[in-house]
Amino acid sequence: TDIDLRGGHQAANIDLSYGLYMNYDINERVGIDINAEYGSMSGGFEMQYYNATVMLISAGVNLSMFRSKESKAWPYFRLSAGMGNFNSERKFLHDEQVFSETSGSCFQNGVGLGYAFKIGHDFGLRLGTEFIINYTDAWDGYDNDQCTDILLISGLKFTYTLPGKNAQYQRFTPPVK
């Protein structure tokens, strides 16, 4: 890519999104999820920057590390695949003039790391970061035929875990003494 991964070129100097995240634990080590996010992104390089409105929809597999039935917090590894929609414009820093606009949809896949925290029976928090490959070069407002653009997304998610036959892994139960 020809743009940085830092972002923060919005008026508030932070890129924000909101969405829905649902997880189903198959067992105490493996879970599957669905994630949908809508928000703004930005990035810059030397004399130019881009702003984009984006929507990301993905399904993922979460591999929990060091997790047991009694765990209230644990690290996890995420693999994901999905689709992204974008509407981007690229501008010069010195005069704020738009010199390229792009929009479309693309396939994405990602790999991430994070830390999960249980809050009560079905709710929790996930703090993590994910490296995502977009299979289009137009995501950042300019298509220079490189076939991909990369993203680094970090965030805090409030989560809901769907109940099921493996609820003993989803719910924190204090150990019996």
DSSP per-residue letters across 104-151: EEEEEEEEEEEEEEEETTTEEEEEEEEEEEES-S-TTS---S-S-EEE
Which of 133 and 157 is assigned the larger pLDDT? 133
pLDDT digits (tens, 9 = 90+) for 53-111: 999 999 999 999 888 778 889 999 999 999 999 999 999 888 888 999 999 999 999 99
pLDDT for residue 9: 54
pLDDT digits (tens, 9 = 90+) for 23-37: 888 888 899 999 999
Average pLDDT, the chain: 83
Cβ–Cβ under 8 Å, residues 35 and 23: no
Collapsing DSSP states into helix, strand and coil, what is residue 2? coil
- From residue 76, give the alpha-carbon distance in Å to each of 30, 134, 143: 9, 23, 34
